[in-house]
Amino acid sequence: EAQVTQNPRYLITVTGKKLTVTCSQNMNHEYMSWYRQDPGLGLRQIYYSMNVEVTDKGDVPEGYKVSRKEKRNFPLILESPSPNQTSLYFCASSLRGGDNNEQFFGPGTRLTVL
Amino acid sequence: AQSVAQPEDQVNVAEGNPLTVKCTYSVSGNPYLFWYVQYPNRGLQFLLKYITGDNLVKGSYGFEAEFNKSQTSFHLKKPSALVSDSALYFCAVRDNTGGFKTIFGAGTRLFVKA
């Protein structure tokens, strides 16, 4: 089954404790992206990647890191989480271009930073 | 800079009536426009997109959207609403210059009453 998976689905942590949220897709998509969803703000793009070793900032990159060492994986790293990073996080992937460029989303990771 | 506006936080409609969820955008050049739907406790699902061509785009579950370049709008429509259409709807605009930068609207919650 074609899908985007994220782990963990739920995470409660404390300020300053480094964490990683994993994202993996099995569709051989070139593009991958991380978003956070907050009430009233919709989804805001954190980082995106257009291919292996190619990443770029979205609208809200502060406090986050990403890496793209393999095509299928795109982990999101919070090196020193803070309470304002409490949010619902989504990973998404997409083909590069042409007509098939809609995004496929993972199920989401709900993060609480105390 | 790209931007997307969904002027209504909530839309209420009776089952069987037509529905419209509004979206306006601001982007330099020709836009890639998308509608996604989010059901409770789920990730986002793609509904439809406008890349080029016909201004009326048909998508999943009987939804359609009309691209209006002069009004910079991309309103989502359905001729006859179902209770099961109740969900959170997001309009999005994507970089059309070969990148993957994507801006989402804040979302519109649709309530369809039986």
Please determine, for residue A17, whether its predicted confidence score (pLDDT) is greater than 70. Answer: yes
Q: Given this model, what pLDDT does residue A1 score?
A: 87
**Count of H helices and E strands in chain A?**
0, 11
Q: Given this model, what pLDDT does residue A98 score?
A: 63
Q: For A23-27, A94-98, A107-111, B49-53, which range has the lowest pLDDT when averaged over its residues?
A: A94-98
Q: For A5-19, A74-88, A89-103, which range has the lowest pLDDT when averaged over its residues?
A: A89-103
The position carrying tokens 């949220």 is A21
Q: Given this model, what pLDDT does residue B99 score?
A: 76
Residue B96: Cβ within 10 Å count: 18
- CA A89 to chain B, closest CA, distance in angstroms equals 10
Report the residue from B45, B100, B105 with minimal CB separation from A33. B100
DSSP assignment, residue A98? T
Q: Given this model, what pLDDT does residue B43 score?
A: 85
Report the residue from B32, B44, B107 with minimal CB separation from A101. B32
Confidence of residue B1 (pLDDT cuts 50, 70, 90): confident
* Mean pLDDT computed over every residue of chain A: 94
- CA A54 to chain B, closest CA, distance in angstroms equals 11
- CA B112 to chain A, closest CA, distance in angstroms equals 20
Please determine, for residue A14, whether its predicted confidence score (pLDDT) is greater than 70. Answer: yes
Q: How many CA atoms lie within 13 A of B110 on its CB side?
A: 28
Predicted confidence (pLDDT) per residue in B64-113, tens digit: 999 999 999 999 999 999 999 999 999 999 877 777 889 999 999 999 99
In angstroms, rounded to a whole number, what is the distance separating the alpha carbons of residues A21 and A65? 11
Q: Given this model, what pLDDT does residue A84 score?
A: 97
Residue A98: Cβ within 10 Å count: 7
| Mean pLDDT, residues A85-106 taken together | 88
Is B113 near chain A, with CB under 8 Å? no
Please determine, for residue A97, whether its predicted confidence score (pLDDT) is greater than 70. Answer: no
Please determine, for residue A100, whether its predicted confidence score (pLDDT) is greater than 70. Answer: no
Predicted confidence (pLDDT) per residue in B29-72, tens digit: 888 999 999 998 888 999 999 988 889 999 999 999 999 999 99
Predicted confidence (pLDDT) per residue in A35-91, tens digit: 999 998 999 999 999 999 999 999 999 999 999 999 999 999 999 999 999 999 999
DSSP assignment, residue B98? S
| CA–centroid distance for A106 within its chain | 9
